[in-house]
Chains A and B, each alone.
Chain A
């Protein structure tokens, strides 16, 4: 038991500080992906519910591709694809250097497009739940399209989309584990290194397991607070 506590201590012998930095990477990657994915997903949803057929087609192609590919495959395609593409481009313009794509950026991009393709579906069904009269009311009092969107539709949209989006946040948090395969030092990679060095695989992977569980519980608490905040302004029916 003391032996295990020693393994988790912060210091030269323990792996506590390494694992803590892994938690930091996981959380910051998920937090950095969230706004990017939300904004992209919102615009894709706008495209998919537009009256313009070409916009709808473009949005549907986007979701079909990124919901159909395994997340790991998307990650590899972006990470290796960008690397090879950039190298080809540099050779093409006559520069020959070895380049490394930032794996944090590649992870953020890959997780972001996957997140946004799912989020667009959530936003789309929320859009459909808002009656037309809300837009017409907005126009009738002289609000522009943008203002109607921002002041009338968005506040209702967010409340409707919140349960779906909080589910997606939990999925995103779990998907960050995949970036350990492109050499980003997240929880799983750091505990994996510790496991290999100390030969205590079960203990360290178990630690990673519990850390992810704690993150999920923590997110659950925050999400339920946000939901309560959203319900406060709801009409008493």
Chain B
């Protein structure tokens, strides 16, 4: 149709200038070719070492590992979200001491490696097994999964509290003042006016936090939890076959990419009224 319109008015356009081989184009094509080569090599390697016995023997292990990873991340994210509420409120509190306490908590858990936190809880508290037995908590701390869960919850609570506090602070003061001018109670204002606006700001950081947790959860493999990474380590130690790790890497990439796309969709959906 546009062709016909163009013909009728008989506009003589000069031909588009030829795309020249600039340095950028050369390197771009070279690197893309390299990626394609790596991708083909990767698929070829996995296909050539495809072994029905391997899949039959270890496939269920990967599936159970994936389930452990997802359940661990999901439960610690939810528990962390609950724990983050009082911490975020403390961070926003006008009381200097409560604010400092919340800040100290957040700083401590964000400033140290997750691996060190996991070790401190799993091995460090394991040293006090007799004391823990006497108060009846040993049953909890004996299990590596529980220790990983506790460490992840404490860790993600710090991150989520910071996200939430920052988001609530980002809502302009006028929103509070407008609501109080209308005579709305404080809690109602928070629930119906401040929080919906804050959560939109927090949406993206929350998505990043979920992805960071999925990636971070791989370290529980070191304290003998058989998550996806743990199973890959186990299979590698049995077979010395490198595809043990490659398959787990593929699964991690798939999970993260699916989550990223779902989150982008949710974000686009929830902020569609903001598009100008």
Contact = CB atoms under 8 A, between A and B. Distances in A.
Contacts, number: 133
A208 B256 CA distance: 31
A47 B25 CA distance: 10
B28 interface: yes
Interface of B: 22, 24-25, 27-29, 31-32, 34-35, 107-108, 111-117, 119-120, 123-128, 214-219, 221-222, 229, 236, 242, 245-246, 248-249, 252-253, 256-257, 260
B245 A76 contact: yes
Given A174-B111, A205-B123, A212-B116, 16 more contacts: A54-B29, A54-B31, A56-B28, A58-B34, A61-B35, A68-B253, A69-B256, A84-B242, A174-B112, A176-B113, A178-B113, A192-B119, A200-B127, A202-B127, A212-B111, A216-B107
* Max chain A C-beta neighbours (<10 A), residue from B108, B214, B215: B215
Q: Is the interface of B mostly helix, strand, loop or mixed?
A: helix
B114 A174 contact: yes
Contacts of A205: 116, 119-120, 123-124
A201 B123 contact: yes
B205 to A, nearest CB: 12
A216 B32 contact: no
* Max chain B C-beta neighbours (<10 A), residue from A71, A175, A177: A177
B28 A202 contact: no
Q: Is the interface of A mostly helix, strand, loop or mixed?
A: helix
A195 B122 CA distance: 13
Contacts of B31: 47, 54-55, 58
A47 B123 CA distance: 45
A113 to B, nearest CB: 13
Contacts of B229: 70, 72-73
A217 B123 contact: no
A209 B27 CA distance: 45
28 contacts: A55-B27, A55-B28, A58-B31, A65-B253, A68-B256, A68-B257, A69-B215, A69-B249, A70-B217, A70-B218, A70-B229, A73-B245, A77-B245, A81-B242, A81-B245, A84-B242, A177-B113, A178-B113, A180-B115, A195-B123, A201-B124, A202-B124, A205-B120, A208-B119, A208-B120, A212-B113, A213-B112, A216-B107
